[in-house]
Chains A and B, each alone.
Chain A
Amino acid sequence: MVIEMVIAGVCVIGLFAALGLVLVLMERRVAAWIQIRLGPNRVGPKGMLQSLADTVKLLVKEGMTPNGADKFLFNFAPFIAMMVAMLLMAPIAFAKDFQLWDLNIGVLYFSAISSIMVISILMAGWASNNKYSLMGAMRSGAQIVSYELSAGLSILAVVILTGSLNLNEIIQSQADGWWIFKGHIPVIIAFIIFIIAVTAETNRAPFDLAEAESELTAGFHTEYSGMKFALFFLAEYINVFIVCAIGATLFLGGWMPFHIGHWEAFNHVMDYIPSSLWFFGKTFFLIFLIMWFRWTFPRLRIDQLLNLEWKYLLPISMFNILLVTLMAILGWHF
């Protein structure tokens, strides 16, 4: 038992490091190409080692704590961000029969734990004793609390159709087609709302008001430097990965290969592609989608942000839930 835990822990930390390096590089590359630039191209072949060099730089930097800060909370906040990210890794099914923790309320667990994220941001903003940090943290609080509603409701659409909160059962229910295809327009709407809401929940542009570097210097992590800053930075990317993994699991079938109804021959061919490839392929597709948003849309103002949630996303997703329920009762999906 203990050995299993240690192995799992090492794997998760290894995955974190790898994901951090890959996603940061990917983000910079996507950003560059969208802005008709080349992106990092100095360190290593085609700039592949750039994020490694940045990590080393951050590691050797001094992690300062401001004099006026609440020392304990200030130093503790980045670790909460990390812990939340680690906990969220538990229920994700990376491949067929490859999951850290197969619990029967996986979806609920995900929504519950991901809300703790905001505590680390609030903590960091408050403890920094800096008006920019505090403002960023408060914005982030308002933002995450409101967008969690529509994220939850859009997840619920799939839960209604499957009748289960277990991520494995949700994946199994997509063996004859992913929900995004089986669920008609309501699930597509739910998917769009899910993507918008999780972009907001992970504090990424166009919803990066917590950071808003043009108004708030760096928002809630203005006072952080060195490795403590790196932890926040890493947590952001891990969270993007996690929400995309959950999105892929719920709407795109997780590790389930692309199957069409009862075309046995076609389905068999698809099964030859390893399930982990399917999972990572879908997840990285969603990550690309979120990065694409970031480099296309301008940042919203706080009132626009709340408008979007309360006047558009929430009413639409509530109506959508009704539709999905009707669909599930009448059996209008394949």
Chain B
Amino acid sequence: MSNNSNYKDSSSIPPLASGGGGASSSGGGALQYLKDVFNGLKSLATGLRRTLYYFTHHKEIITEQYPENRDTLNLPERFKGEVVMPHDENNEHACTGCTACELACPNATIKIITKFDITPEGKKKKALDKFVYHLELCTMCNLCVVACPTDAIKMAQTFEHSVFDRSELTKILNKPGSKIREGIE
């Protein structure tokens, strides 16, 4: 039974859902009325069958028994817990300090502080000084990650974020002494 929301096709709507004005029942006469009742009952039965299936299939239970299974937690792939900036073994990251993430963030969670590096050729070059991230303001919307042109940040799956002091939630994502990886513009 298709439960699409195509309200013009009155025959596919069960009487319970036809609601305002009962357009489906006023038009077609007695036959239409009986058809409505039948279709309504049928769609209700479809719903009931689905829930009965779930009721009798406990193996499909999807909730996690946290905190008992804290070590074996099975988090869904799309779960987002916090913004992090991956660093490689040379303590290098991919952030150019372009502030695209800062502009993308709807909550002003990110503050990019830039500095000027002197390249070997003696030129001045803009670089990241501090990536300030306010976890307490973040809604895990993923917009900053999408906005980043160099994939310098990503979402981590950590979630136990409670602390006693609010200031602990303000984090500097680039590690001390880190610098931008070679070849990233």
**What A residues does B15 contact at CB under 8 A?**
307-308, 311-312
**What B residues does A301 contact at CB under 8 A?**
19
Q: Smallest CB–CB gap between A312 and chain B, Å?
A: 6
Q: Known: A36-B62, A38-B63. Is A297-B47 also a contact (CB below 8 A)?
A: yes
Identify B51's interface contact among A37, A296, A312, CB under 8 A. A296
- How many chain A residues sit at the interface, stated as a range, is 20 to 34
Check if A292 sits within 8 Å of B52, measured CB to CB.
Answer: yes
In this assembly, does B8 line the interface, its C-beta being within 8 Å of a C-beta of chain A? no
Q: Known: A308-B15, A312-B37. Is A36-B44 also a contact (CB below 8 A)?
A: no
**What A residues does B60 contact at CB under 8 A?**
36
A37 CA / B64 CA spacing, docked (Å)? 9
In this assembly, does B66 line the interface, its C-beta being within 8 Å of a C-beta of chain A? no
A303 CA / B47 CA spacing, docked (Å)? 22
A150 CA / B17 CA spacing, docked (Å)? 20
Check if A303 sits within 8 Å of B16, measured CB to CB.
Answer: no
**What A residues does B55 contact at CB under 8 A?**
30, 33-34, 292
Check if B47 sits within 8 Å of A304, measured CB to CB.
Answer: no
Q: Smallest CB–CB gap between B64 and chain A, Å?
A: 10
In this assembly, does A95 line the interface, its C-beta being within 8 Å of a C-beta of chain B? no
Q: Known: A311-B25, A312-B37, A316-B37. Is A34-B16 also a contact (CB below 8 A)?
A: no
In chain A, positions 22-52 with a C-beta closer than 8 Å to chain B are 30, 33-38
A224 CA / B107 CA spacing, docked (Å)? 38
In this assembly, does B143 line the interface, its C-beta being within 8 Å of a C-beta of chain A? no
Nearest A residue to B50 by beta-carbon distance? A296
In this assembly, does A109 line the interface, its C-beta being within 8 Å of a C-beta of chain B? no
**What A residues does B18 contact at CB under 8 A?**
304, 307
In this assembly, does A83 line the interface, its C-beta being within 8 Å of a C-beta of chain B? no
Check if B61 sits within 8 Å of A37, measured CB to CB.
Answer: yes
**What B residues does A300 contact at CB under 8 A?**
16
**What A residues does B44 contact at CB under 8 A?**
297
**What B residues does A311 contact at CB under 8 A?**
15, 22, 25
Check if B22 sits within 8 Å of A307, measured CB to CB.
Answer: yes
A304 CA / B24 CA spacing, docked (Å)? 13
Q: Smallest CB–CB gap between B76 and chain A, Å?
A: 14
A297 CA / B46 CA spacing, docked (Å)? 11
In chain A, positions 293-334 with a C-beta closer than 8 Å to chain B are 293, 295-297, 300-301, 303-304, 307-308, 311-312, 316
In this assembly, does B27 line the interface, its C-beta being within 8 Å of a C-beta of chain A? no
* Binary per-residue interface labels of chain B (34-75) against chain A in the complex, 1 for a CB within 8 Å, 0 otherwise: 000100100010011011101101101111010000000000
A30 CA / B55 CA spacing, docked (Å)? 7
Check if B54 sits within 8 Å of A34, measured CB to CB.
Answer: yes
Check if A295 sits within 8 Å of B19, measured CB to CB.
Answer: no
In chain A, positions 113-130 with a C-beta closer than 8 Å to chain B are none
**What B residues does A295 contact at CB under 8 A?**
51
In this assembly, does B122 line the interface, its C-beta being within 8 Å of a C-beta of chain A? no
**What B residues does A37 contact at CB under 8 A?**
61-63
Check if B52 sits within 8 Å of A36, measured CB to CB.
Answer: no
Identify A296's interface contact among B40, B48, B63, CB under 8 A. B48
In this assembly, does B29 line the interface, its C-beta being within 8 Å of a C-beta of chain A? no
In this assembly, does B20 line the interface, its C-beta being within 8 Å of a C-beta of chain A? yes
A307 CA / B44 CA spacing, docked (Å)? 17
**What A residues does B51 contact at CB under 8 A?**
34, 292, 295-296
Q: Known: A307-B19, A307-B22, A312-B37. Is A36-B54 also a contact (CB below 8 A)?
A: yes
Q: Smallest CB–CB gap between A253 and chain B, Å?
A: 24
Check if B22 sits within 8 Å of A292, measured CB to CB.
Answer: no
Most A C-beta atoms less than 10 A away, residue of B16, B50, B60: B16
Q: Smallest CB–CB gap between A197 and chain B, Å?
A: 14
Check if B19 sits within 8 Å of A303, measured CB to CB.
Answer: yes
**What B residues does A30 contact at CB under 8 A?**
55
Q: List 14 A-B contacts (CB under 8 A).
A: A33-B55, A34-B51, A36-B60, A38-B61, A292-B52, A293-B48, A296-B47, A301-B19, A303-B20, A304-B18, A307-B15, A307-B19, A308-B16, A312-B15
Apart from A33-B55, A297-B47, list 6 A-B contacts with CB within 8 A: A37-B62, A38-B61, A296-B50, A304-B17, A304-B18, A312-B15
> Interface on B for A, CB 8 Å cutoff?
15-20, 22, 25, 37, 40, 44, 47-48, 50-52, 54-55, 57-58, 60-63, 65
Nearest first, the 5 A-B pairs at minimum CB distance are: A296-B51, A304-B19, A34-B51, A33-B55, A296-B47
